[in-house]
Structure 1
């Protein structure tokens, strides 16, 4: 038996040796249960690119950037959100991971002559690279995504100037709009379920491409006004050739599915059983007060009324602190000089109010797990995992109309500023199911068009709810709304950019160092050095904005 076993073993080894010597090792290294990049269908990649990009925008616009532009504040684990204490190590790795997936989508679409998928990939490339340069400034662009090609320039990629990145983005959006200019019937490879934004509608994608061009033309308008003016006027002059997102039905949005924590609205209490993500977020007083002043119907959609209003009554005996019929009554001596908000309906948390924001407005249970009945929570829709209003909103008709209204105010041929402004207000109300409230709201004092940029940007700021990143970039460019940092904030001004992360500074030292040197220090950035959230990137250097 031993002899037979040895003979069989020798024969098996010889057979395997001959087999492996004749077979390409790359063929043997194929996962039979996976999809190879060289053969993957672009429609299999598209949902990941679209969903992860949409979530990335919400994670900014509903989270810490909503704190920067004072849409919301947090009353626990608040330092980054309220105080801009970002720690100096903000990573762009996840964005470049998205770009790598998107590049595979594009390359496979080119190989298979899929024009629709190519167009979508170029739009997404523009959107993600736009976000990176908007947040950081100079960044790897032309040398990015090429690490597998080898060479030091790809492993440690060079940084492109911020202006050059915007130029490349605008060029890619031109290409995308051309690729997406055919009727849907002319494309043979569309899978509607793979397109989480527009269900395979190339016309809407073409509108998105042109609308993003408007966004970036306005972005560079202070630095390159002639380019911005010519670009916007060209789009407006020929709506047939350059269709745009002109009503809320064409907004670039993604609904949350709500099947698990990964595809549910981030503040939901369905998968976060503790409810802490929801409970910690409060409306900011900076947003609540102007919305109250104009009887803005969106406030009731976004926020809950305060659970227990406060009332200071001078007729009460000293030392009074009691709840009667759902109202907490305080005698003046109990309040003293402490800041207090006695509005009976909505109470916002002031920006960076203190080192203990959970104690605001005489909350009886301050602390990291506090429940504050005297400050407005978000509406209960934000406790859900999904819902008709729980959408990532990447580009909206409201934003587009406000951009054109601003262009018209500059004297550019972009239509009538008042008409564009009113269309922006209406588009925002429509997106939140409030079209019937438009006529009354637009007539309100402070909303009725007065021709000022402050009013226009103010309404655009409100309309950017859950998409606050755009409001931050508008503030940086215009200084509007006139937001001020709260008393406990890390600096006495709002930040302007993200820090380059430490790994990049260490591993790509030469290129990142050159980018840092091009930043402009300010009075608020001096203690950080040039790589500061308060240093000015190219986009705002020399503009005198925002401060």
Structure 2
């Protein structure tokens, strides 16, 4: 079992003074590390929380942001822009987190620490939710028992998505009960161990029930009666099932920024070349949507174009000059090249070319390009740490959008308009522009229309830097109506990750059994069943997203 011993040992020194001493013959049983049957769960929990949050933000800020067209890359772009993933996505890191989390749970049970049990069940649900959402069927019931040495545990069978989602919802129900007491009624809570909520069981309880809403909605097309009953149970019993309603309850993690491993990804503090920041640009799809809606978040997320293009038919032929901070071009210098002359914000079109750095007549195309004619991300994303640089696991905005969708379905989940507007307000508050909410909510296209399309579009916008949820929503609803670009690997957005080659080689029989349950589509093509375009159970038979 992998336990990230270096981190555990460092934390052991940090918390030496916080726990009662034991006889030296007990603590010296293992001179090379901390024994799993003795370790305090507070020593392992920070690793679970920080690694899970880092993994999630890296998904939502990197390639999945490309899938849902929040961003595009102008170099090393084929995976991000074109879905050319090569079948190498590994879930090893996910299971590493789950094994450490299982240690937290086992030790919490042994020590009768109900808070830690509840937290570990929430994190188990979050991580297994990601695994099944991303890959499909996966080892679940026997996926964490490899050290028992039994053949069926070393090479575990894959459980169906239906079984996994059912297990997740059951664990979240159990967590809701475990986390229902006041903080004073629990023992061994160490506030700074909990990097999400500083040891607040009420907030963890709200996270548990908010995640339950997420997964009930996830299965709503396949098991509508279960989803309806589950969501109505939570909404109809607020005292028994509290949920996130305001931004201060969001499950987020900040970045200390003291090293590369504790810093916001793709910062320019530890990547002194700045190449990782420089390569990520706003996607044209996203920029144009935000501009059409006059969305005040655009300026928080992106910089204005450094040098706008001006194509002027009155200029003499052959004109290409920079003057007054603008680049002026005569039409003959542009020819048939597609350019974007917006004077403020310009995004890169989705998967439009194998050389995206050449867009908008960039004078320095290539891997080291610095395109002055396309919007860079806001300078805040150069930093290693900052108030807006947070991993966002689930938020009040998402919860309100889920309930708006449920209300649109006719379920007892509150007023759809009020839930929708609360979701918009929560997101604007998160990004420091809450004062503009009243005006924004009257803007054409934002003003409530009572459509699923509008709710999911606003949820897509609000998922900036947490794009995985937008991908799963697109897969489930077909909204926003995102289209693949001409250079994409397939002319449709993918719907899952490939099972990795190691799993196919080492756990062949069980992986092949899982592959047989995937639905091959017209876009699976040469990949066969193990394709990013083969549909897993959760969307089979739904006609979505394509």
Does the alignment reach a TM-score above 0.5?
Answer: yes
Partner of 2:163: 164
The aligned runs of 1:445-456 (5 Å cut-off) are 445-456=444-455
For 1:242-391, list aligned pairs within 5 A.
Answer: 242-391=241-390
| Structure 1: gaps (5+ residues) | 1-25
Superposed displacement of residue 527, structure 1: 1.6
Which string of whole-angstrom CA distances, capped at 9 and with x for unpartnered residues, describes residues 259-281 of structure 1? 00001000110000000110000
Shift of 1:28: 12
Question: 1:454, 1:527 → 2: CA distance?
Answer: 33
CA distance in structure 2 between the partners assigned to 1:97 and 1:246 by the alignment: 32
| Matched ranges for 1:210-249 at <5 A | 210-249=209-248
1:505 aligns with 2:504: yes
1:10-59 deviation per Cα after TM superposition (whole angstroms, max 9, x unaligned): xxxxxxxxxxxxxxxx9999543632211110111111100000000001
Aligned to 1:514: 513
- 1:92-107 aligned at under 5 Å gives the runs 92-107=91-106
Once the two structures are TM-superposed, the CA of residue 394 in structure 1 deviates from its matched residue by: 0.2
Any unmatched runs of 5+ in structure 2?
1-24
Distance 1:399 1:379 in 2: 23
CA distance in 2, matches of 1:363, 1:29: 63
Secondary structure of the structure 2 residue equivalent to 1:527: helix
1:418 aligns to 2:414 (yes or no): no
Q: Report how far residue 290 of structure 1 moved.
A: 1.1
In 2: Cα distance, 1:337 partner to 1:527 partner: 34
TM-score (norm 1): 0.94
Q: Residue 323 of structure 1 aligns to a residue in which SS? A: strand
User: Superposition pairs for residues 59-208 of structure 1, below 5 Å?
Assistant: 59-208=58-207
Aligned mates of 1:542, 1:87 — CA distance in 2 = 27
Q: CA deviation at 1:443?
A: 1.0
SS in structure 1 of the partner of residue 402 of structure 2: helix
Partner-residue secondary structure (3-state), 2:345: coil
Question: Displacement, 1:410?
Answer: 0.4
SS at match of 1:129: helix
Change (3 A) 1:29 1:512: farther
Moved over 3 A (4+): 26-31
How big is each residue's C-alpha offset from its partner over 1:155-176, in whole Å with a ceiling of 9 and x where there is no partner?
1001101111000000000011
Q: Are 1:483 and 2:482 an aligned pair?
A: yes
SS at 2:387 equivalent:
coil
Deviations 1:467-500 (A, max 9, x none): 0000000000000000000110000000000000
Q: What is the CA distance between 1:148 and its match in structure 2?
A: 1.1
Q: 1:148-205, CA deviations, whole angstroms, 9 ceiling, x for partnerless residues? A: 1111110100110111100000000001110000001101211000000000000000
Q: TM-score scaled to structure 2, two decimals?
A: 0.95
Distance in 2, Cα, partners of 1:396 & 1:537 = 26
- CA distance in structure 1 between the partners assigned to 2:407 and 2:91 by the alignment: 35
CA distance in 2 between partners of 1:241 and 1:101 (Å): 30
Using the alignment, how far apart are the partners of 1:457 and 1:412 within structure 2? 17
Q: What is the aligned partner in structure 1 of residue 19 from structure 2? A: none
Q: Which residue of 1 aligns with 2:3?
A: none
C-alpha deviations, 1:286-318, integer Å up to 9, x for none?
000111111111100000000000010000011
Partner of 2:18: none
Residue 523 of structure 2 is aligned to residue 524 of structure 1: yes
Q: Post-superposition shift, 1:111?
A: 0.3
- Give the Cα separation in 2 of the matches to 1:30 and 1:375: 60
Give, in angstroms, the shift of residue 353 of structure 1: 1.2
SS of the residue corresponding to residue 50 of structure 1 reads helix
| 1:413-449 CA distance string (max 9 Å, x none) | 0000000000000000111111111111111111000
Secondary structure class of the residue paired with 2:525: coil
Between the aligned partners of 1:148 and 1:37, the Cα distance in structure 2 is 12
- Number of aligned residue pairs: give it: 522
Alpha-carbon separation, structure 2, partners of 1:365 and 1:150 = 56
Hey, what does 2:400 align to over in structure 1? 401
Secondary structure of the 1:328 match is strand
Q: Which residue of structure 2 aligns with residue 3 of structure 1? A: none
Question: Secondary structure, in 3 states, of the residue corresponding to 2:527?
Answer: coil
Structure showing greater radius of gyration is: 1
Distance in 1, Cα, partners of 2:505 & 2:59: 26
- Aligned partners of 1:260, 1:85: CA distance in 2, in Å? 31
Which range moved further: 144-153 or 472-481?
A: 144-153
Give the deviation of 1:526 after TM superposition. Answer: 2.0
* 1:70-99 Cα shifts (integer Å, max 9, x gaps): 000000001100000001121100000000
